[in-house]
Structure 1
Amino acid sequence: MKHLLSILLMLLTMNAASMNATPTEGKTSVAGFFPLNGSGRIVYNFNQGWRFHLGDAKGAEATTFNDSKWEVVCAPHTVRLEPSEASGGRNYQGVEWYRKRFRMPKDMLGKDATLYFEAIMGKQEIYVNGKLATSHLGGYMPIIINLTQCGVKAGDECIIAVKADNSDDKNYPPGKKQAALDFCYHGGMYRDVWLIGKSPIAITDANEQNSVAGGGAFLHFDNISEKKADVYVNVEVGNKSTATASPTVIVRIKDKGGKVVATMKQKISVAPKSTTTATPHTTLRTPHLWSPESPYLYDVEISVVNGGKTVDGGILHMGIRNAEFCGKEGFWLNGKPYHQLIGGNRHQDFAYVGNAVPNSQQWRDAKRLKDAGMTIIRAAHYPQDPAFMDACDELGLFIIVPTPGWQYWNKDPKFGELVHENTRQIIRRDRNHTSVLMWEPILNETRYPEDFALKALDITHEEFPYPGRPVAAADMNSAGVKDNYDVLYGWTDDIGKEGTPENKCIFTREFGEMVDDWYAHNCLNRAARSWGEKPMLTAALSLSDTYGEMFHGQRQFIGGCQWHPFDHQRGYHP
């Protein structure tokens, strides 16, 4: 059995392991951009060749530490192969170490080199050549290490050491003990790792810059119709050199066939050790509008040209669509009433390998959900892998992106501040995804103070201040929500009740969870395949009946998400 599990792990990680240590190709986005040939930006896959140790190891951050007996692993990596049913807090919880020795490639000469971890579960300490580079709390957002600032140059030998810990910790979200939580914090370096080389004059990273609605590239729109659409591309360019630079930002929009349909150019001045934002814009005539039925994506090629040479750039996938939430008139898409949104909640874990799901499986999950007829996914209860977001854009799935949390509140003000910081980072990471329809900036099924909810709403508006922004959604009866949030989580029965606003749309975030009993054969909507055909059919009919009860023509009720399309590991219960 152990041998079979090892084979499964190898197959699941093969997608990441097979990529060459050269600039990325295909449909893999890196730090928000798809690679643009000839841009001057260098991207290496950094997943391979990590030494791994399960448990703590005193002194493992030191350059002289002997890790020769440690296992060699590849990211995405899980710290331990778990049983197919690892709920009830049975998954590994504790410290683990990763170490990698490498020589900085020679083509990084003159580049600003950063290490980009898409996510590592829990809390982390990352060391570069024996010195602490950063400490980080949280298991769902990127961690960026500037190796150049750490003194690493082209040709240098370098050792990266990562200490991670996915054990219970009430001080940062989600905060709740895993034995009582509705999902597992499977440990490990479970998403991709990239080595990125950028010129001194280059597009910044939004989360690294940490400025409100700033940094990186930011697509936004206005006046969208079938006749035209105004397209804006904010591009922040940083200058790490010692002289003022005058680069030109060039934006080319290409249709699906590769034809250039618009070109924008703007010359800017960037002082040393400073940044400047270019704001090129254009109007597209008769644009192809994005919808779940026709998920049309343009390529937006962004280049930074300095001294006649392209020094940086990347590609964004751009869908143009206009979403409106019209209260009693329901949800409108691209100027027309849209049918009710039917979808499901999705957790990121997979049997045996926990959270270490490769990009191919992220796409496979999205494809299965789309093929099942879904039009919207709620990312329960945290931001998903960038590959899953890319898949939703391309396949035509709306997505709701929540901040990490579930049924837990810590009165320490630092906890709420970390929730808000997560929300800002989520919006900065995912703001260019056409699929994002709603943000969920509060803690799910949690009692929190009203000022927290109102601050969370303000953050969504601050970080996306342009027309047509994704709206904020939260539980209707939570403090501060009913009178202020854009979309209210509730039920069809709430419509027409005293206190339910007529100008707000209602959406059911979770439906179909009838019985929380896996082992007894009385569960209407959770049937094991081994139980046979009749229980499986009963489960399917139960969910079908639930759909019918919910969707009975009231436009103010705009849809809902089933709990849960895929089996997943629950912390508190099998």
Structure 2
Amino acid sequence: MRSVFRIFAVCAICLSIFSVPAQNRTKINFGTDWEFKISESIPTDWEKVMLPHTAKIEPLVVNNQFQGTFWYQKTFNAPFSKNQKVFLYFEGVMQMADIWINDQKVCSHTGGYLPFIIDITPYLNKRGKNIIRVKGNNDDNPNFPPGKPLNELDFNYYGGIYRNVYLITTDKLHITNSMEANKAGSGGLYVNFDSISKDNASGVIQTHIKNDYSKDKSVVLNYFLTDKNGKKLEFTSEPFTIKSNSDKEIIQKIQVKNPKLWSISQPNLYQLEVQIISNNQIIDSYCETIGIRKSEIRDDGYYLNNKKLFIRGTNEHQEYPYLGYAISDDAQYRDAVKIKNAGFDFVRMSHYPHAEAFMKACDELGILVMNSLTGWQFFGNEKFQENAIQDIRDMARRDRNHPSVIFWEASLNETGMSKAFMAKASSALKEELKFGNYYSACWIDNPNYDLFIPARQHAKPPNYWNNYANGNKKIFVAEYGDWEYYAQNAGFNQTQFSNLKKEARSSRQLRAHGEERLLQQAFNFQEAANSNRKGKNIIGDANWLMFDYNRGYSNDIESSGISDVFRIPKFSYYFYQSQRDANMKLNPKLNSGPMVKIASYWTEKSPLDLTVYSNCEEVALYLNDSLVTKKSPEITPYNDALKHPPFTFHIKKFIPGTLRAEGYLNGKKVAEYSVKTPQSPTKILLSYDLSSKEINPDFPDMVFVYAKITDHNGTLVPWYNSQISFSIDGEDAKLVGKNPIQAEAGIATIVLRTTRFKKPIIISAKGEGLEPAKLNIENKTKIE
């Protein structure tokens, strides 16, 4: 039985290392002025690039993804004193990397989803030019996760230095990076609160310090904990000595009165700064942003800060169309915003650790996280297993301080692992998270793990996991709503499915497939979600999935996302959005509060049985300003466990015009949505998607540009599928993607990629028979 100490949890988030005056630490983005070439040997001709970077721009449907060897190089200055050290920190290189500094090989690293750090001090020219070369390779390799050949894999691993690189300088006496230290449960800062209430939070701050001087050093540590309002808590350690050429862990007890707790609705964060003081000088300063929260599985469910919560979540792959994994920190943030706006408070990292910027966004937005070891249906040899265990350690070291991380999937997804491996995997996680306060998770119900996380399709219909019990162990349904319908063992509602064609029965529906099939996808998710909520030991679930994506083994886009690959919502998106309570108020930059959405385009081909999604008590439906009816949702076996069942309305016959839905709470209208019958397409409305994050003015960024084909009233024409051509006028920017591109369900999309955003960008679009359109990015037009 888990001890009381281990079931109360808090995390902290590692956001960034900041420069502080009067000390020697700096952290510089190292992404500019690189050169690149796909080549087996060191090339003689190079292409200038900026990071993050993908080895090859891929087509929209990736059916012959690049695999091979590629090179990067950069010339740089690195002036530093004799008392300083210089490091390079790589957030991710896919998926083998060899590093040379000034023609001396300094490092080899395997695995593309976790960071590594290199002490390059001994190899540098202190006053002159330096050159770094990186040889990368993303060929199939069975010796480290994911291990499975790409053409058999359910996702892609795109080559390149696809995440950030930083140049870090410190004093020889410094707080380490957890990857640099490479010690179980150590390195850098490790913050843990083991006793938490609204009145008091107490725990420890562990700081790992390294002294690379040839002399012992007398040291004290200063701690500063600052809340969002600027209120600061200060304290100092007892003096201590760290011997020459050695390292030391210092554990400091901490107590916070009346803490501002981190939650899904109020993700309060604190800034923690730890300073090394020696000879009355600030020698080093290391900052993190931490959150205090209590995460607990009890006999009757999951609790966050002593409030019971059924966890509503999704799965996400980190790829973008064309660019693969090479997306900016700001684009990562926008994806997290979309997840939160869809009504989810949880995301599973399927099936690998995601970017550090995405983790940071989850902390800032109040999204709970299941962190996941890289893997899918592959159990390799002894070398593979050793590398998988090391990845568990590196994942824990990188992410142990995030308040968002509540579950650790320290197992290989849908893989027949040996009992010995599972014991080693859970033991490694325990060593790394030595203060306890975490939950390990596995898709196999194994006694070494705390939480059982099967997919819904891993059990049999009609009850799936609802009647499963194994002592006090709880279930989190890690995937649902896709495969069980794709494979046609579709749960309870077989009568409705009896007349459907195979492709119409599936949850894998593109926006181009039309209203009926999009409604079927939404109903599948609804039915499965409703079923999961009836399980006596189920504490939450995550649908499969948020965004459509490419995978190595199939020559089509996997389309069970509630948004398409361009992040355009399908009807099912609004089903999930309606499941968030109307009285939950989030940050103003997020969507929350009362909502109502008509799942129809209202054309002659639209179903006359209308579905309306809302979190209101009643919905009134009007057709051309005439009331059809005002009603509460009808309770059926397919929605009776949902907090906010959909509303259904029957229209006797199609009459063109306007459908309007009004949502009511306590008899008062609080939300409204209208849809008009589209007429002939005449024009293009251009917009771009910011999702609460402006285009980065200083570093590479990318946003989706949407050409919405409308009639003269501005109503989307969903049957329009002709080609749209895009063009651009602006510096340091380009369009990425197929151009011209065929519109899908009335919208054509292209990706705008910027290097720096200092001057206006004008994008134009045209299509046969349509009025051309122009978009000035400075207008900050946002997609609806």
* TM-score normalised according to structure 2 size: 0.64
The equivalent position to 2:307 in structure 1, one of 312, 326, 336, is 336
Offset at 1:263? 2.8
Q: How far apart are the structure 2 equivalents of 1:195 and 1:96?
A: 22
Is contact 2:87-2:119 (8 Å) kept? Answer: yes
1:413 corresponds in structure 2 to: 382
SS, match of residue 479 in structure 2: strand
1:161 corresponds in structure 2 to: 133
2:337 corresponds in structure 1 to: 367
Residue ranges of structure 1 left out of the alignment (5+ in a row): 1-28, 61-65
1:319 corresponds in structure 2 to: 291
Structure 2 residue identity aligned to 1:485:
Y
Q: CA RMSD in A?
A: 2.0
Structure 2 residue identity aligned to 1:331:
Y
Between structures 1 and 2, the one with greater helix share: 1
1:302 corresponds in structure 2 to: 274
Q: Deviations over 1:8-33 (max 9, x none)?
A: xxxxxxxxxxxxxxxxxxxxx99753
Is contact 1:268-1:276 (8 Å) kept? Answer: no
Structure 1 residue identity aligned to 2:112:
G
1:559 corresponds in structure 2 to: 540
1:437 corresponds in structure 2 to: 406
Structure 2 residue identity aligned to 1:472:
S
Offset at 1:313? 1.4
Q: Deviations over 1:371-411 (max 9, x none)?
A: 1111111101111110000011110011111111110011x
Offset at 1:440? 0.9
Q: How far apart are the structure 1 equivalents of 2:474 and 2:356?
A: 28
The equivalent position to 2:111 in structure 1, one of 121, 127, 138, is 138
Measured at CA, do residues 109 and 566 of structure 1 come closer, stay the same or move farther in structure 2, by a change above 3 Å? farther
Measured at CA, do residues 365 and 266 of structure 1 come closer, stay the same or move farther in structure 2, by a change above 3 Å? farther
Asked if 1:124 is matched to 2:105, the reply is: no
Asked if 1:78 is matched to 2:54, the reply is: yes
Measured at CA, do residues 568 and 309 of structure 1 come closer, stay the same or move farther in structure 2, by a change above 3 Å? same
SS, match of residue 237 in structure 2: strand
Offset at 1:459? 1.2
Measured at CA, do residues 523 and 97 of structure 1 come closer, stay the same or move farther in structure 2, by a change above 3 Å? farther
Asked if 1:471 is matched to 2:439, the reply is: yes
SS, match of residue 442 in structure 1: coil
SS, match of residue 424 in structure 1: helix
Aligned length: 522
1:37 corresponds in structure 2 to: 20
- Structure ranking higher on relative contact order (CA contacts 8 Å, 6+ apart): 1
The equivalent position to 2:452 in structure 1, one of 478, 488, 491, is 488
Offset at 1:535? 2.7
Moved more, 301-310 or 435-444: 301-310
Q: Deviations over 1:102-132 (max 9, x none)?
A: 122x356632001111110011111111121
Offset at 1:163? 0.7
Between structures 1 and 2, the one with greater strand share: 2
Larger radius of gyration: 2
Counterparts of 1:113-512 in structure 2, within 5 Å, are 113-150=86-123, 152-327=124-299, 329-338=300-309, 340-410=310-380, 412-468=381-437, 470-477=438-445, 481=446, 483-490=447-454, 493-497=464-468, 500-512=469-481
SS, match of residue 455 in structure 1: helix
Q: How far apart are the structure 1 equivalents of 2:425 and 2:15?
A: 24
Is contact 2:271-2:287 (8 Å) kept? Answer: yes
Q: How far apart are the structure 1 equivalents of 2:415 and 2:357?
A: 29
Counterparts of 1:517-536 in structure 2, within 5 Å, are 521-522=503-504, 524-536=506-518
SS, match of residue 75 in structure 2: strand
Offset at 1:265? 3.1
1:538 corresponds in structure 2 to: 520
Is contact 1:247-1:305 (8 Å) kept? Answer: yes
Structure 2 residue identity aligned to 1:37:
V
Measured at CA, do residues 231 and 183 of structure 1 come closer, stay the same or move farther in structure 2, by a change above 3 Å? same
Is contact 1:108-1:197 (8 Å) kept? Answer: no
Q: Deviations over 1:433-461 (max 9, x none)?
A: 11111111111101111010011111111
Counterparts of 1:83-102 in structure 2, within 5 Å, are 83-86=59-62, 88=63, 90-102=64-76
Structure 2 residue identity aligned to 1:81:
I
Q: How far apart are the structure 2 equivalents of 1:83 and 1:345?
A: 23
Is contact 1:295-1:395 (8 Å) kept? Answer: yes
Moved more, 444-453 or 266-275: 266-275
Q: Deviations over 1:115-154 (max 9, x none)?
A: 111110011111111121111111011122211032x143
Q: Deviations over 1:322-369 (max 9, x none)?
A: 111124x1111222322x111111111110000001000110011110
Q: How far apart are the structure 2 equivalents of 1:223 and 1:232?
A: 10
Is contact 2:86-2:167 (8 Å) kept? Answer: yes
Measured at CA, do residues 159 and 523 of structure 1 come closer, stay the same or move farther in structure 2, by a change above 3 Å? farther
Is contact 1:250-1:305 (8 Å) kept? Answer: yes
SS, match of residue 512 in structure 1: coil
SS, match of residue 223 in structure 1: strand
SS, match of residue 445 in structure 1: coil
SS, match of residue 170 in structure 1: coil
Moved over 6 A (4+): none
Offset at 1:262? 4.2
